[in-house]
Structure 1
Amino acid sequence: MFLLADAAIVGHLGTPELAGLGVAGAVLQTAVGLCVFLAYGTTASVARRVGSGDVRGALAQGVDGVWLAVLIGTVTTVAGVLLAGRLVGLFGAGPAVDVPATTYLRLAFLGVVPLLVMLAATGVLRGLQDTRTPLVVAVVGNLLNIVLNLVLVFGLDLGIAGSAIGTDLAQLGSAAALLAVVVRAARREGAPLRPDLAGVRRAAHAGVALVVRTLTLRASLLVTTYVAASLGAASVATHQLALTLWTFLAFALDAIAIAAQALTGRSLGAGDREGTRAITRRMVQWGVGSGVITGVLLAAAAPLLGGLFTTDPAVRDLLWPVLLVAAVFQPVAGVVFVLDGVLIGAGDGRYLAWGGIAVLAVFAPLALLAGHLGSGPGAGLTWLWAAFGVGFIGSRAVVLLHRARGTAWMVTGG
């Protein structure tokens, strides 16, 4: 919802600004996405300890994850602010896009620390089987983000800079709310709040495989943005909208995967392999069903969605065929996200890392080839998304289904 709100508001500033948000968003999501292990890894490890009966140890490990988020966020912020212009320039989108992209990215990096704290704190609460608190904070935070963006972008006429500032402030408030809940739970169980260096190192070491896994996935998405940017400003603006909508639906499907992380971790922590297998089957069923529903809804809404985000007729015309292609692969994406969550919950990060490398090796050449197919940028963008469905989503499905059928990932104990 943060991404959709930003795209809807910035899109009405003009196509260069929307394209700039697309480039800046690709960089920022990559930097933050590499740290998603702060949520995913923490969810799995906290849930496993809860399953084994060690709630105090679970919270202590969660607090160490929050401190790790602060450390990584600080380093990322400094590097991102200093290198924003160079990172944007790597996409070669041109001066008209580079200026708003650099403005947005430099300011958005100031919100990375609270964003990473949000990830870690949310992971702790999910591991404790509490998804209600993150839901409440997310709803309030998104409403605040929309209000702040409208006031700063249009009310104070700050343009794309106002969108970044508004999002930073909303993320700061959300992080503070989640952190307060985690601290209160830690105090209730007698878990320490000070950073334990050994615990922080363990959290970092456990996250290495998930970082590699996420790096390969983000690299695949960056390849799509790079190819789209080579097709012109209208294509990269269209790609930004399509990717934002796809990401929104991905997070909707990922809700089932997150439940799979928490339930798988708790079940394996309690030593229940049969229960784990039953959870996996049920989650895959939910993933397929949800993918079918979201795919049908996306296909039905595809001709109408462009007008919600931009007044540029070229972007609107390019968007709907791309969304139709994305809709076709939603059921497969549902299975992919669920099985990814199951294996993360089981702590099977090493396999996910090697699987991600294999997927990138298959998808990258297909994406680069797709950009040169067709007679114009519209055809090239549609072929790019077809390659995304087959080479990225399809390859991930093969890799994850192969692993899930075996038992090597079902390691039990706290």
Structure 2
Amino acid sequence: MARSVPALAAPALAVLAAEPLYLLVDTAVVGNLGTLALGGLAVGGGLLGWAAALLNFLAYGTTARAARRAGAGDRAGAVAEGVQATWLALGLGVVVVVLFQLLAGPLTRALAGGAGPVAAAGEQWLRVACLGMPLLLVALAGNGWLRGVQQLRRPVVFVVAGSLVSLVLCPLLVHVVGLGLVGSAVANVAGQAVSAALFLRALLAERVPLRPQPRAVRAQLVLGRDLLLRAAVLQLAFLVAAGVVARTGAAELGAHQIALQLWLFLALVLDAYAVAAQTLVGHALGAGRPDRARQTARAVALWGLGTGVLVGGLLLLLRPVLPGLFTDDPAVLAQAGVVWWFLALMQPLAGVVFALDGVLMGAGDVRWLRTLTIGSALVGFLPLSLLSGPLDWGLAGVWTGLTLFVVLRLVGVLLRVAGDRWTGAPATVSA
């Protein structure tokens, strides 16, 4: 079992890291345009990232359902989950595009604290970048069913191919062609188009019925409601934090963008163990092997802890170097130094939290995860973020809230996995 976790986590890591790695490069490329462009990317990217994370149940929910069916020997049923998730992804993606085209101005102004150059830059970026949402969601659904049938290497090729297109186009369009911030958005959409096309081709190759089934799609929405609500509250907390920082100053917002992108990148790196846990736990419980599911929980927790310690140490070691890769603005660099200790020291805790999240998702225990995440955000993250503005705590207050959020979740998942109720959680398999 201990060898199965890294064997599945390694390709999952490549998939999970590809998109945030591109975003880190994107942040560095745009950061060299100036503080206003970096702030615009923070505002527009924050809104688009909120929408993508809100709909991430298309990947995680589909993985849990497909893994249960594959573990029970029903591969065709596992792939069918992917078909319906893909239809759902296309429909939701179109809705998101329409909403952002209608509300891009008000949303960016609200997040940036009013009209101004940062809000205008964020709106310009968002109107172009949101066109890739249906493509991004199709890739999420594709990742979900392929993970469920334990084919984690094919998504690596699909996602890395799209990310490489974006990585090449981003500096060319931004600096060489001279599109500026808009070039970043165009590169983003181009890469998503490549990945989505590859996932669709893989689904067509399975030769299963492709017709949408409204009842199955509705069932997926119902079964995904807990993950959706969990993601909504979590992303609301991140948006509130970004709004508080935006009202503090452009330098603080730029530093928050750099640190947050690193945090999200590292969260997805550590989440590779969650993907492995989902697949292994889903298969084990689908096959009627709760003992194997418990072994997986212990293994992924240890792997997450060890990796978190390593990542945190590297962040502290590279503290004098990394922030300078994103900006040369002394004010932004000074603010980045404020949050760096928070970023590094929470990594071991986050490694365990994300790994055990995957265990509970694979078991279908999403109601518990929903309640725990919402409670931790309402008790820890949101209050400290909101108080940071009037009490002039700045970035330190916001990142203290984020740290408390991780600590509360850690306590919750450890208590849950220590018991037996999660092994009997209802399977998230649609009719």
* TM-score clears 0.5: yes
Is the contact made by 2:30 and 2:38 (CA closer than 8 Å) also made in structure 1?
yes
Name the CA distance, whole Å, in 1 between partners of 2:253 and 2:391.
16
Aligned to 1:39: 59
Is the contact made by 2:281 and 2:359 (CA closer than 8 Å) also made in structure 1?
yes
Name the CA distance, whole Å, in 1 between partners of 2:163 and 2:353.
27
Is the contact made by 1:110 and 1:168 (CA closer than 8 Å) also made in structure 2?
yes
Q: Map residues 10-409 of structure 1 onto 2, 5 A cutoff.
A: 10-94=30-114, 95-184=116-205, 186-187=206-207, 191-363=208-380, 364-372=382-390, 380-390=394-404, 392-409=405-422
Is the contact made by 1:35 and 1:211 (CA closer than 8 Å) also made in structure 2?
yes
Runs ≥4 residues deviating over 6 A = none
TM-score, normalised by the number of residues in structure 1: 0.95
Name the CA distance, whole Å, in 2 between partners of 1:386 and 1:149.
33
| Displacement of 1:79 | 0.7
| Displacement of 1:256 | 0.7
TM-score, normalised by the number of residues in structure 2: 0.91
Is the contact made by 1:124 and 1:182 (CA closer than 8 Å) also made in structure 2?
no
Is the contact made by 2:111 and 2:239 (CA closer than 8 Å) also made in structure 1?
no
Is the contact made by 2:383 and 2:401 (CA closer than 8 Å) also made in structure 1?
no
Is the contact made by 2:244 and 2:385 (CA closer than 8 Å) also made in structure 1?
yes
Give the length in aligned residue pairs.
Answer: 405
Aligned to 2:6: none
Query: SS of the counterpart of 1:409?
Result: helix
Q: CA offsets, 1:30-79, max 9 Å, x none?
A: 11111100000001100110000000111111111111100111111111
**Aligned partner of 1:231: which letter?**
T
Query: SS of the counterpart of 2:288?
Result: coil
| Displacement of 1:266 | 0.8
Name the CA distance, whole Å, in 2 between partners of 1:68 and 1:129.
22
Is 1:2 the counterpart of 2:22? The answer is: yes
| Displacement of 1:2 | 2.3
Name the CA distance, whole Å, in 2 between partners of 1:270 and 1:248.
33
Q: Percent identity?
A: 45
| Displacement of 1:223 | 2.2
Name the CA distance, whole Å, in 1 between partners of 2:158 and 2:31.
26
Query: SS of the counterpart of 1:231?
Result: coil
* Range with bigger deviation, 229-238 or 359-368: 359-368
Query: SS of the counterpart of 1:193?
Result: coil
Is the contact made by 2:59 and 2:143 (CA closer than 8 Å) also made in structure 1?
yes
Name the CA distance, whole Å, in 2 between partners of 1:138 and 1:67.
19
**Aligned partner of 1:55: which letter?**
R
Name the CA distance, whole Å, in 2 between partners of 1:370 and 1:174.
40
Q: Which runs of 5+ in 1 are unaligned?
A: none
| Displacement of 1:137 | 2.0
Name the CA distance, whole Å, in 2 between partners of 1:386 and 1:177.
41
**Aligned partner of 2:398: which letter?**
L
Name the CA distance, whole Å, in 1 between partners of 2:275 and 2:46.
23
**Aligned partner of 1:4: which letter?**
L
Q: CA offsets, 1:143-182, max 9 Å, x none?
A: 2111111121112111101100110011011110122112
**Aligned partner of 1:407: which letter?**
D
Q: Which runs of 5+ in 2 are unaligned?
A: 1-20
| Displacement of 1:140 | 2.0
Query: SS of the counterpart of 1:302?
Result: coil
Is the contact made by 1:372 and 1:380 (CA closer than 8 Å) also made in structure 2?
no
* Range with bigger deviation, 400-409 or 68-77: 400-409
Is the contact made by 1:235 and 1:381 (CA closer than 8 Å) also made in structure 2?
yes
Query: Over aligned residue pairs, what C-alpha RMSD do you find?
Result: 1.4
* Range with bigger deviation, 332-341 or 403-412: 403-412
Q: CA offsets, 1:343-374, max 9 Å, x none?
A: 11111111122212211211211222234556
Name the CA distance, whole Å, in 1 between partners of 2:148 and 2:334.
44
| Displacement of 1:193 | 1.2
* Range with bigger deviation, 88-97 or 162-171: 88-97
Is the contact made by 2:44 and 2:108 (CA closer than 8 Å) also made in structure 1?
yes
Query: SS of the counterpart of 1:78?
Result: helix
